[in-house]
Amino acid sequence: MGRKKIKIERIVDERNRQVTFTKRKNGLMKKAMELSVLCDCDIALVIYNSNEKLYQYSSGDIEDVLRRFHTECAEAHEARNNQDLFDQHFSTQKGASARERAQASTSRSMWRKVKI
């Protein structure tokens, strides 16, 4: 039996939000580890919760990965933000209205070139 789709919006109830954060954080870290192992890539994951508590995962030495990131940030690179992912989701969503798909495709800078 399939799971019910949830609306992606802020969870109002503090306890439910914390439980969801913990479960999804652990799932995200597991996916990062799996991607690193399966694809032999370097991954650094940095998460701050709403109380500014830091959680991190790194497939190797996090300082080395972050140093590489900092060095390569000076060059143009691919980056996505929440709006890009939201637009992508609506453009591929079954049942999305033509207006929603058109809006998503026109604003689809899904992979933006970033120059710092």
More confident position, 116 or 23: 23
Domains annotated for the chain, with CATH where assigned, are 14-107 (3.40.1810.10)
Instruction: Out of 24-38, 54-68, 74-88, pick the least confident.
Output: 74-88
pLDDT average, residue stretch 55-75 = 92
Within the chain, strands assigned E span 44-48, 54-58, 77-79, 112-114
Chain segment 70-114, per-residue pLDDT in tens? 898 888 888 888 888 888 877 776 665 656 555 544 444 434 444
Q: What is the pTM of this model?
A: 0.67
Which residue in this structure is represented by tokens 């933000």?
A: 81
Angle in degrees, CA 26, 32, 36, rounded to 5: 145
